[in-house]
Chains A and B, each alone.
Chain A
Amino acid sequence: MHSFMRDLTFLSKLKVCTSVGDTTDLYCTDMSRKVELSLLLYGLLLSSMGEEEGLHQTQFLDTMFVRGLKRKCFDGEEDIEGTLAGIKAIPSYNLQRQSLLDMSLVKLQLCHMLVEPNLCRSVLIANTVRQIQEEMTQDGTWQMINTQSTGQASLDRLVSTDILCRSSRDQAEGKHVPAYGTFNKDFESDQAQDSSETMSTASSVQAPRNLQSNVWEMENPQENKGNFQKSLDQIFETLENKSPNSVEDLFSEVDNSYYDLDTMLTGMMSNTKMGHCDNLETFSTPTNTASNSNCKSDLNDLDHIVEILVES
């Protein structure tokens, strides 16, 4: 039984610092929300794969990774089904590798949304993803994930894509989203209206979505929603892809003009001007609405234009 209140409490305590210093990335509050989102996502994926006690999962990850590549093949398979709840176990190698892969994919995708993505960073993350996938292919883990019941994987997919997509759709429709902590019925009925990727049964997803939507509510629509949705779909599709060449798929052309890697990596995809948001606060500070409103009008205009472009 997933206790999502507990997970959320844990997630809210995840302490993350952004680089306020000298990065070539243009982090603004919108970006910080997205990174926060990616953490939530990654935390959720972890939780959905197995219960973890304790507040510091990243510390477990650190312990795990510092050992180098000590594989626990046997442990790995057991852990994927579901770990021993309530025990402070160091997560299995496969679990951690999967988390790292997911985190990297989200990072990679998010960084495409920046005005000027840092090419070095993108390349390094992409190489990490490639490395993990190669290893998983060699392992046979890749095949295993594909052949096992896709319930879990699709849950992940639903969780991730729907949260992210829904949040963007929310903003487009200007929906009022119920506040954090209320699992109310009309929220569920709202969901019933969603066409694609509706979470039918996973009530567990409601709570994180609540929180996430609440977070996003405060934000202005800053994304090229269509692109974001498309590319994320693409990413998660590749996770389930039978062929192990997912990394190439990540970069492969779905639509010539939009998905050319060159243009992707040089930020052509992201048409929104994040540059005008000049607050680079860490996202532990919630009071960024002031700066957001400065971006709002610019971004609303751009959004409109971009929507037209996407639909064409």
Chain B
Amino acid sequence: MLSDRVGFPHKVFGLLSKQPKQNTWFQRFPSLGAGGGNDIQWCFSQVKGAVDDDVAEADIISTVEFNHSGELLATGDKGGRVVIFQQEQENKTQSHSRGEYNVYSTFQSHEPEFDYLKSLEIEEKINKIRWLPQKNAAQFLLSTNDKTIKLWKISERDKRPEGYNLKEEDGRYRDPTTVTTLRVPVFRPMDLMVEASPRRIFANAHTYHINSISINSDYETYLSADDLRINLWHLEITDRSFNIVDIKPANMEELTEVITAAEFHPNSCSTFVYSSSKGTIRLCDMRASALCDRHSKLFEEPEDPSNRSFFSEIISSISDVKFSHSGRYMMTRDYLSVKIWDLNMENRPVETYQVHEYLRSKLCSLYENDCIFDKFECCWNGSDSIVMTGSYNNFFRMFDRNTKRDITLEASRENNKPRTVLKPRKVCASGKRKKDEISVDSLDFNKKILHTAWHPKENIIAVATTNNLYIFQDKMN
């Protein structure tokens, strides 16, 4: 019917969506297929975690990461646990919603340790999780705390051998003279069991706290970065790593800059970047020398003199750096903004998006209560057209690079009916507060969204509040 064709593009999609969603290519990349005007409508899908306001410290989520297919979603928490959610196979009859994520595996990745030499406790908090691409039936991920990286194998077992006649029921071996036939055991189905086992432990290579791990595109090596050094590892070798960046000064009194994040280029296996607390990003090529202390490129934006204050350096400190999937761009997150850099242009970013500029006038208070040191992460969508990052008051922001539009949404249990479209939020910086706006002074700075992740192929996002994980998807008709 003509009236069905007229209207918003997603209605057109709805008309054509009689078949399962995967088959239609524009379902996968709605922002590519639809052309202008197709703003995604985000809907609540699920929330995981305790309902109480009383947050147990061990439950604080410290990292969120989708695997390469998007079928698995891993979270790490302050208690050293990893919880993996798996997306259900899509229900053919329920074509209007994607599969839900349910708990697939939970395991204790890291335990608290004590460094006897320094009399310091080593936190078990999981700082980062990175998935390896799947090569066989099992899944592999790297998880790290402040000092130790572990390679975990997550495998399924849904059959078990039965029919041994060499042992009794209780496991004792039978007297061989009583065994008269040779019986070959057969595999019989059993309830699915998911096992996680640590396959490699990469320890004792970092004096300072590990803040990043990144798997190389060769899928054989990976890097781990702490405050002052970056090490290169081979996934098979645990007793050795190569130091590739070392910015520790000979005299620690001269220390003015630390490494805050590092990542390998998605396509070029000899290229990586690392960001610093002074707002610079250095791109290094491992082919140039063994120790990549001299950068190949230095990305830095000159300071805006009109915005200069005592907090300028602190807010310029980069908390996260992420390459685009294409490898052509990289995104950095500093305290107030998100910047997109073209790898070919070092002197300034190509795009800058203000996340919460209204906080600029509150920097002193935020310095006082330490919120200014919060490390927000950022992420790209699958097609590199939208970037997302978190803010305070359980708000998170998305910036569409094509339409230049942005949206602020809130992760809260108030809108927790599935397929409820999220209402855009707005913060009133000053002056008269309009209806439905929130004033800066009533923002809750304890509710911060530091970790977000975007499904590599679909419009599904995972947003972590302090101890809850929210999953949102775009509205499908």
**Known contacts A69-B309, A261-B253: A59-B207 contact under CB 8 Å:** no
The answer to whether A39 touches B119 (Cβ under 8 A) is no
Report which of B112, B119, B208, B310 forms a contact with A100, defined as CB distance below 8 A: B310
The answer to whether A62 touches B310 (Cβ under 8 A) is no
For the complex, is B446 an interface residue (Cβ under 8 Å from A)? yes
- Distance in angstroms from A275 CB to nearest chain B CB is 4
A263 CB contacts on chain B under 8 angstroms: 118
Q: Is the interface of A mostly helix, strand, loop or mixed?
A: helix
| Chain B residue, CB-CB nearest to A16 | B369
Q: Which of A42, A248, A251, A282 has the most CB of B within 10 A?
A: A251
B208 CB contacts on chain A under 8 angstroms: 119, 266
Report which of A25, A103, A267, A278 forms a contact with B57, defined as CB distance below 8 A: A278
B4-60 residues with Cβ-Cβ distance < 8 A to A are 55, 57-58, 60
A84-130 residues with Cβ-Cβ distance < 8 A to B are 97, 100, 103, 115-116, 118-121, 123-124, 126-128, 130
| Chain A residue, CB-CB nearest to B63 | A22
The answer to whether A20 touches B466 (Cβ under 8 A) is yes
Chain B 423-444: CB-based contact to A (< 8 A → 1; otherwise 0): 0000000000000000000001
The answer to whether A268 touches B209 (Cβ under 8 A) is no
A131-168 residues with Cβ-Cβ distance < 8 A to B are 131-132
The answer to whether B123 touches A65 (Cβ under 8 A) is no
Report which of A22, A68, A126, A274 forms a contact with B450, defined as CB distance below 8 A: A22
| Chain B residue, CB-CB nearest to A272 | B119
A121 CB contacts on chain B under 8 angstroms: 370, 373
The answer to whether A68 touches B307 (Cβ under 8 A) is yes
For the complex, is B3 an interface residue (Cβ under 8 Å from A)? no
For the complex, is A24 an interface residue (Cβ under 8 Å from B)? yes
State A128–B317 Cα separation when bound (angstroms). 13
Q: Is the interface of B mostly helix, strand, loop or mixed?
A: loop
The answer to whether A17 touches B308 (Cβ under 8 A) is no
Interface segment, one of B66-74, B134-142, B254-262: B254-262
Report which of B119, B253, B445 forms a contact with A248, defined as CB distance below 8 A: B253
Chain B interface residue count, CB cutoff 8 Å, equals 60
- Chain A interface size band reads 35 or more
- Distance in angstroms from A64 CB to nearest chain B CB is 8
Interface segment, one of B162-170, B336-344, B359-367: B359-367
The answer to whether A119 touches B258 (Cβ under 8 A) is yes
Chain B 327-363: CB-based contact to A (< 8 A → 1; otherwise 0): 0000000000000000000000000000000001111
30 A-B residue pairings within 8 Å (CB atoms): A17-B371, A17-B446, A20-B60, A22-B61, A22-B78, A22-B375, A24-B127, A25-B370, A35-B370, A39-B368, A61-B364, A62-B362, A62-B364, A64-B364, A65-B363, A69-B309, A100-B310, A116-B146, A118-B209, A120-B227, A120-B260, A120-B277, A127-B313, A128-B314, A260-B252, A261-B252, A265-B252, A265-B255, A267-B120, A268-B119
State the 6 A-B residue pairs at the shortest beta-carbon distance, nearest first: A275-B121, A61-B364, A261-B252, A262-B252, A66-B361, A119-B227
Q: Beyond the given A65-B310, A266-B120, A274-B121, could you list 12 further A-B residue pairs with CB under 8 A, ordered by the A residue number?
A: A17-B371, A17-B445, A18-B369, A18-B446, A21-B466, A23-B374, A62-B363, A100-B310, A116-B123, A248-B253, A275-B112, A275-B121
Task: Using CB atoms and an 8 Å cutoff, list the residues of chain B in contact with chain A.
Answer: 55, 57-58, 60-62, 78, 112, 118-123, 125, 127, 146, 207-209, 227-228, 252-253, 255-258, 260, 277, 306-311, 313-314, 317, 360-365, 367-371, 373-375, 444-446, 448, 450-451, 466
